[in-house]
């Protein structure tokens, strides 16, 4: 006879992964508030507040700014499928699994999408993209601002210039960077920008914030064919998030409550303060890792994404055993690599609520103990000591600047 299933009781983990991140207790409380209908007049007011907060975080005045009822991958799909029709030409800068996914979706849209690649650990050279665009009618240029699979940061300015040169829309994946890295959608003139709720915003997974420029809206209106996906057709989805609030689908209401509260907390802290917090904590983490004798996948500091640090796995150390011991002994979760770097890197996330000094120091101490148990020799206390010195340098510099 089947045993009865007991009440749900998940373990409490410190989620130092590339997503999802741990979330503020206030976000849990928002998610646990009473459910209302998706056409309830009160909820329509909540939707408007959600959009106001989202525009502030994206730093945009775009009319089409809303959370898609989907993961960040849904944001990729919506961005590509709404922009491209059969036979259209595009370019995607690929330097990891998720930028590769943008390319793959373009191919499935029966478009002539060109892949311009860089080795994992490096951004794609804009000059390579310029050469690939020569003599072609390019409709979109796509890139990952932060490549989650490798911890690589790619600057936007050179790509905006390229998009202007060829008359293309600029599509930017900010799933791993929004609310943690300086981003100004309007100032940087990004045409389509999407993200994920579960990373530096620190809300539960399941929502993909997206914003669309007037120029991209115009491209959508001039389509000769319908978008290949009914669900991700932004011209109809926006009818629900637009002023008329016309029914499109039943959204995850409790997740919207959580997203609204998480974004409110982002702005309560202040975007610039939050950007600086992520930068400071990653610098301390890297100082600690390097003091422990570990190497990083991304060797150029300017190319490092503040939310995800890719650590090379030393020879003779078992990837899974280290991660499992961190989880079993310390309730700390980090991620391994996948794709071309599977078994070669660990990915340590410092995102949103998780990006705290206490978490950095706790992780480095736990990591040292686990590495020692796995036979990798670490100078005693080297990681924590180096991180503390890094924090002290930042605090001293801040005091001097005041």
Q: Rounded CA gap, 402 and 301, in Å?
A: 26
Tokens matching residue 373: 């148990």
Q: In this predicted structure, what is the pLDDT of residue 101?
A: 96
Give the whole-angstrom CA distance, residue 368 versus residue 374: 10
Burial of 285 (0-12, 13-18, 19+ CB in 10 A): buried
CA atoms within 13 Å, Cβ hemisphere of 256:
23
Q: How far is CA 398 from CA 5, 280, 350, in A?
A: 54, 11, 21
Domain boundaries of the chain, sorted by first residue: 25-267, 271-401
Yes or no: say if 19 and 176 are a contact pair by the CB < 8 Å rule. yes
For position 367, what pLDDT does the model report?
98
- 66-102 burial, b at 16+ Cβ within 10 Å, e below that, comes to bbbbbbbbbbbbbbbbbbbbeebbbbbbbbbbbbbbb
Instruction: For residues 291 and 83, give the distance between their C-alpha atoms in angstroms, rounded to a whole number.
Output: 46
Residue-level pLDDT at 225: 94
Closest listed residue to residue 116, CA positions, set 76, 144, 75: 144
What is the full per-residue pLDDT of the chain (402 aa) written as tens digits?
A: 688 999 999 999 999 999 999 999 999 999 999 999 888 999 999 999 999 999 999 999 999 999 999 999 999 999 999 999 999 999 999 999 999 999 999 999 888 999 999 999 999 999 999 999 999 999 999 999 999 999 999 999 999 999 999 999 999 999 999 999 999 999 999 999 999 999 999 999 999 999 999 999 999 999 999 999 999 999 888 778 877 777 788 899 999 999 999 999 999 999 999 999 999 999 999 999 999 999 999 999 999 999 999 999 999 999 999 999 999 999 999 999 998 899 999 999 999 999 999 999 999 999 999 999 999 999 999 999 999 999 999 888 777 776
Per-residue DSSP letter, 302? G
155: number of CA atoms within 13 Å, CB side? 8
> CA-CA distance, 229 to 208, in Å (whole number)?
16
What whole-number distance in Å separates Cα of residue 106 and Cα of residue 375? 45
Which contacts of 362-365 are long-range, i.e. CB under 8 A and separated by 24 or more positions?
A: 362/14, 362/330, 362/332, 363/14, 363/16, 363/285, 363/332, 363/334, 364/285, 364/288, 364/289, 364/292
Residue 247: its pLDDT value, please? 79
First to last CA, the chain: 70
Phi and psi based region of residue 34 (left: phi greater than 0; alpha: psi -120 to 50; beta: remaining): beta
For domain 271-401, give the CATH number. Answer: 3.90.1150.10
**Got the DSSP string for 332-348?**
EE-EE--GGGTTTEEEE
Say what the pLDDT of residue 176 is.
Answer: 98
Q: Which of 49, 46, 26 is nearest to 37 (CA)?
A: 46
Q: How many CA atoms lie within 13 A of 62 on its CB side?
A: 31
Per-residue pLDDT at 39: 87
* pLDDT in the model for residue 396: 83
- At residue 400, the pLDDT reads 74
Query: Would you say 351 and 363 are in contact if contact means Cβ atoms under 8 Å apart?
Result: no
Nearest by Cα to 58 from 206, 212, 163:
212
Alpha-carbon dihedral of residues 209, 214, 216, 220, nearest 10 degrees? 100
Nearest to 333 by CA among 22, 9, 72: 22
Q: Which CATH architecture has domain 25-267?
A: 3-Layer(aba) Sandwich (3.40)
């Amino acid at each position: 006879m089947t045993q009865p299933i007991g009440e749900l009781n998940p373990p409490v983990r410190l989620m130092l992964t590339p997503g999802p991140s741990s979330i503020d207790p206030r976000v849990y409380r928002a998610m646990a508030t009473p459910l209302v209908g998706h056409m309830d007049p009160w909820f329509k007011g909540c939707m408007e507040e959600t959009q106001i907060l989202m525009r502030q975080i994206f730093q945009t005045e775009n009319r089409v700014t809303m959370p898609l009822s989907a993961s960040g991958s849904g944001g990729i799909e919506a961005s590509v499928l709404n922009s491209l029709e059969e036979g259209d030409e595009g370019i995607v800068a690929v330097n990891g699994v998720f930028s590769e996914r943008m390319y793959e979706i373009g191919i499935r849209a029966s478009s002539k999408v060109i892949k311009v690649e860089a080795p994992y650990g490096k951004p794609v050279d804009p000059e390579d993209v310029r050469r690939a665009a020569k003599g072609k009618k390019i409709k979109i240029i796509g890139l990952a601002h932060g490549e989650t699979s490798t911890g690589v940061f790619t600057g936007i300015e050179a790509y905006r210039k390229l998009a202007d040169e060829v008359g293309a829309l600029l599509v930017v994946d900010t799933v791993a960077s929004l609310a943690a890295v300086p981003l100004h959608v309007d100032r940087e003139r990004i045409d389509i920008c999407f993200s994920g709720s579960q990373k530096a915003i620190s809300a539960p997974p399941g929502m993909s914030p997206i914003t669309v420029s007037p120029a991209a809206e115009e491209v959508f209106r001039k389509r000769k064919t319908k978008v290949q996906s009914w669900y991700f057709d932004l011209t109809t989805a926006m009818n629900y998030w637009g002023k008329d609030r016309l029914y499109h689908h039943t959204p995850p209401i409790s997740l919207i409550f959580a997203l609204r509260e998480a974004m409110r907390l982002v702005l309560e802290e202040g975007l610039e303060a939050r950007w600086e917090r992520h930068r400071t904590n990653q610098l301390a983490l890297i100082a600690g890792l390097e003091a422990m004798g570990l190497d990083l996948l991304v060797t150029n500091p300017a190319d490092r994404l503040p939310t995800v640090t890719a650590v090379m796995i030393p020879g003779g150390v078992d990837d899974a055993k280290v991660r499992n011991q961190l989880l079993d002994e310390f309730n700390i979760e980090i991620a391994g690599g996948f794709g071309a770097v599977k078994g070669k890197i660990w990915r340590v996330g410092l995102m949103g609520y998780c990006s705290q000094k206490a978490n950095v120091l706790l992780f480095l101490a736990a990591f040292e103990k686990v590495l020692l148990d796995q036979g990798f020799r670490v100078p005693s206390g080297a990681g924590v000591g180096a991180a503390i010195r890094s924090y002290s340098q930042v605090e001293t510099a801040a005091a001097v600047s005041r």
